[in-house]
Amino acid sequence: MDKIKPWISAFRLRTLPLSLSGIILASCLAYYNGSFDGLIFIFAILVTISLQILSNLANDYGDGVKGTDNENRIGPERAIQSGKITPDQMYAAIKVNILIVILFVFLLILSAFGTSNFLYSMLFFVLGGLSVYAAIKYTVGESAYGYRALGDVMVFLFFGLLSVMGTYFLYTRQIDHVLLLPASTIGLLSTGVLNLNNMRDIESDTESNKITIAVKLGLKRAKVYHTVLIVGALLISLIFGILYYRSPYNFVFILIFIPLIKHLRAVLKSENPKDLDPQLKILALSTFGLSILLGIGQIFHIL
């Protein structure tokens, strides 16, 4: 058990709900349009979980070997930082995890397209490969994009646009313009989680030469940026609810505005970076809750 605990900690299971938000929302929208498939849903969940765990292990490895995770860092102690897992062990685990991702991607594509639609299958194999690359290169290597203030863009693309629109395409084999608004909502909130994490670590990241948008902006302007992300997501979700109104159930997601507004007030009032750490869980779970309610609100009146 003592050997398993460090690995469970390294998986960072608390990050999984956020990564599943886009999958759940896209699946609800596909259900609304009569295209839901249980097998696709299961494999999409497994692909997403395995990719998120891969990203967490790679981040632990990349920041660990670079010395970014040190005693000055705020937040939970990382595996390599603690010495409970060696860099070689983590590297080996990353390679195994890549094989697991490849297997689940293959099964997902097979469940969605069968043995036909070769071009669609190749497209999603490429997207799967890009997802693996993005998960690893956030902190690993000299050209890690997380050290060049590109993490926010990548999170918006992969957690928002690709997660929602890609999953919906697996069900329906088409892209609807209606998806852009909910995909952007999830993308902005997910970017907010990353920005919050980077605001918390702004001092240690600066010392380690890890250049994030929060480091570039400084804490005061990073809070303004955070406000734009959260308020932007709320406004876009409202626009979606208004434009595609079918029944009052469509607006049940507004309930999540309460914890999100409280979260934003807490961030703006915070003076110590340590105060931002508890807000990570609140924002991540609020994003997850919003994805569920936004999706359920679209399908509830047809059940």
Task: Please report, rounded to a whole number, the percentage of residues in the chain having pLDDT higher than 90.
Answer: 73
pLDDT band of 75, cuts 50, 70, 90: low
User: Which residue shows structure tokens 């660990």?
Assistant: 64
Q: How far apart are the first and last CA of the chain?
A: 45
pLDDT tens per residue across span 230-253: 999 999 999 999 998 888 989 999
Q: Are 18 and 72 in contact (CB under 8 A)?
A: no
78-87, 119-128, 153-162: range with lowest mean pLDDT: 78-87
Of 79-88, 162-171, 200-209, which one has max mean pLDDT? 162-171
* Phi and psi, residue 141, nearest 5°: 95, 165
Q: Are 159 and 190 in contact (CB under 8 A)?
A: yes
Does the structure show a pLDDT above 80 at 170?
yes
Query: Can you give the pLDDT at residue 124?
Result: 96
Query: Can you give the pLDDT at residue 235?
Result: 98
CA–CA separation, 142 and 199 (whole Å):
23
Query: Can you give the pLDDT at residue 102?
Result: 97
* Phi and psi, residue 26, nearest 5°: -65, -35
pLDDT tens per residue across span 94-144: 999 999 999 999 999 999 999 888 999 999 999 999 999 999 999 898 889
Longest distance between any two alpha carbons in the chain, whole Å: 57
127-131, 159-163, 197-201, 272-276: range with lowest mean pLDDT: 272-276
Does the structure show a pLDDT above 70 at 2?
no
Query: Can you give the pLDDT at residue 65?
Result: 82
Query: Can you give the pLDDT at residue 49?
Result: 97
Does the structure show a pLDDT above 70 at 257?
yes
Residues with Cβ within 8 Å of residue 242, at least 6 apart in sequence: none
Residue type, 59: N
Model pTM score: 0.94
Does the structure show a pLDDT above 80 at 301?
no
pLDDT tens per residue across span 16-27: 999 999 999 999
Higher pLDDT, 20 or 303: 20
CA–CA separation, 188 and 166 (whole Å):
17
111-115, 168-172, 189-193: range with lowest mean pLDDT: 111-115
CA–CA separation, 155 and 278 (whole Å):
21
Query: Can you give the pLDDT at residue 130?
Result: 96
Query: Can you give the pLDDT at residue 135?
Result: 94
Distance of CA 208 to the CA centre of its chain: 24
C-alpha distances in Å from residue 119, one per residue of 40, 131, 176: 18, 18, 19
Does the structure show a pLDDT above 60 at 1?
no
Query: Can you give the pLDDT at residue 171?
Result: 97
pLDDT band of 72, cuts 50, 70, 90: low
Query: Can you give the pLDDT at residue 246?
Result: 86
Closest CA to 150 of 211, 84, 230: 211
Averaged pLDDT of the chain? 92
